Structure 1
Amino acid sequence: MPRTGKKAPPQAIRRCGLTFREDREEAIRACGHARALLESAGTEVFNLEQVLDGEPVDAVLSFGGDGTLLHTARLMAPRAIPVLGVNFGRVGYLCAVSEQQLAEAIDILLRGAYRLDQRAMLRGVVSNRREEVWQVDALNEILVGGSNRTLTLELTIDGEHLGTIIGDGVIVATRTGSTAYAMSAGGPATMLECTVIVPSNTINSCLMAPAVIPITSEVKIRNLTRVARPYAIADGQKDYQIEHGTEVQIVRSPLTVSFVDPGLVSPAAKLSKSFGERRA
C-alpha cells in the first residue's frame, strides 16, 4: 500500500505545539489566540523549542506562510509529528487554514474530525569519488544550480544515461514542490505522488520538456562544468557547493511529512488558487 496520501484514523488533539513567523505581528497575535482556544478546551500547549526537546505532541500548528510551514515540516518529519499551516503569507498553497478559519479548524482538531495527508520527501546525497560528503531531505525540491554561469550537467535516471543539460540548472521536485519553484520554471502541477524534473533556462538539453517519473526512481546529476561550482539546494534553504565531477543522487526519502487537513479547502481549489496567484 502506498505510504503517501493515506488517510490515518483521526485523533483528537490533546497536546499541541505552536510556532510562528517572528516578524509577522498578525501571525504572533493569531498564535496567541490559538493558544487561548486550545487551553480553554483543556489541550496542553507547547512552543517549538519544547517539542524539539522531546515534548510529545499530537500536532504542531505553524503560523506564517509556506516558508515557515516548510521549515516546521522538515523539523517534524523525523519525529512523525503532523503539521497544520495557518496562512499569513502571500500564496500559502501548502497552508490548509486562513486566519478567518482558525477557530473552525481548531474545533475540528479538538474533535478529531480531520485527516492526515502524508507527503513524500526527496533525499539528496552528494558523493565525490564514491564517498558521501553531504545528505539532505527536502519536501519541495532539490535544485542543482545557483551559479551565475552556464552549467553542464549530466542526467541519469534509474541507471540510464540520458545525456547532458546545458543551462542554469535542474530542479527535481515532489508533487508538493510541483506548485512551487518547479512550476515557476515551467514544470507541471500535479496532485499525484511522483517526481518532476524541470531543466531551468536551458541552451541545450537531453530533456525537451519537463519530465514526470515515478517517485521511486533514482535521479543522478553530475557536474561536468569546469568553470563554475553550482550548488545542491534543498527547499531553497540548505545548500552544498558541488565540485567538477561530483554527483548528486536524488531518491525518495525514508521520511514523510504529515499535513493536518481539516477539510476546509478542496485540493482543486488550492490548485486553482496557486495558478491564480502566479497569473496576478
Structure 2
Amino acid sequence: MFAEERLNKILELLKTEGKVLVKDLSIKFNVSEPMIRKDLQKLEKEGQIKRTYGGAILKRNLAETTNISNRMIKNLELKKMIAHKAFNLINENEVIFLDISSINFILAEIIAQNNKNITILTNMVEITAYFRNNSNTNIICIGGTYSKNLGGVVGSAAIESISKYRADKAFIGSCGVNLSDCSISNFDLEEGNTKKTIINCSKSIYLLMENEKFYFDGAYKFAHLKDINTIITEENPNSKICEILNKNRVDLL
C-alpha cells in the first residue's frame, strides 16, 4: 500500500471510529509504529487531525460565517433531498415552525407549490414571497430585529413573539453537531437564543442538516441532542454516529 493510500485509509477510519491508536494502525497496515507516527504527523500538519497520546482524533472544522445568500447555493442538491424528506412529515392542519435555514427556504417553496393546508410560523422573512398565490397556507411572521446577514428576525423581541405560540413541529438548522459533547451549535448568540425558544415552544423538533455538519462546529451551543426528536439528512451517516444518536434517542431520517 502506498503512503498516500494509507493516509486516506486513516482518515476514513477516523470518520468512522472517531479516534485511532498507533499500535492498532501499525497492525492493520503492517508497518512500524514510527511509520504510523510519521503518517499522523503529516496529517496533523495538513490540519486534518489532532494527535493525542498514543493516537489521534479527527480535527473538527469551524463552520464559515457566510451570509444567507451564499448558504443558499452550497450543497444545493443535498439540501433539496433533505427538504423533500421534511415535507413528507408535514400533515394537513398542522402548525409548523420554519426557522432561519437555507434548507427551510427550499422546504417553504415545496410547501407553497403543493398548496398544503397548514399554518407556518417563521422568523425567515424571505420565504413569505412563495405564498403570494397560495390560498391554503396561513403564514405568521415573527416580529423583531431583522438581520441582513442571517436573513431573518432574531433577538429579544422575536423571542417574546415566538413564546406566544405553540407549534406541532419545528424544522431548524444549525452550523454543526458535535458528538463528543452532543451539542448543537451556530455562530450568532441572538439567533441561538431564538432557536432555543423555538425548541421550547414546539412539540416535535427536526434538525435539518447535511451529513458533513457532524464534523463542524459553531461558536455558540444552543441545544443538546436530547432536545431533538429527529435529524433529517441526505443519507445515513457512519455506524458510530448512528450509535451515538440512538443512545441519545434521536431518530434519523
Question: Normalized per residue, which structure has more helix?
Answer: 2
TM score, norm. by length of structure 1: 0.25
TM score, norm. by length of structure 2: 0.27
Larger radius of gyration: 2
Question: Normalized per residue, which structure has more strand?
Answer: 1
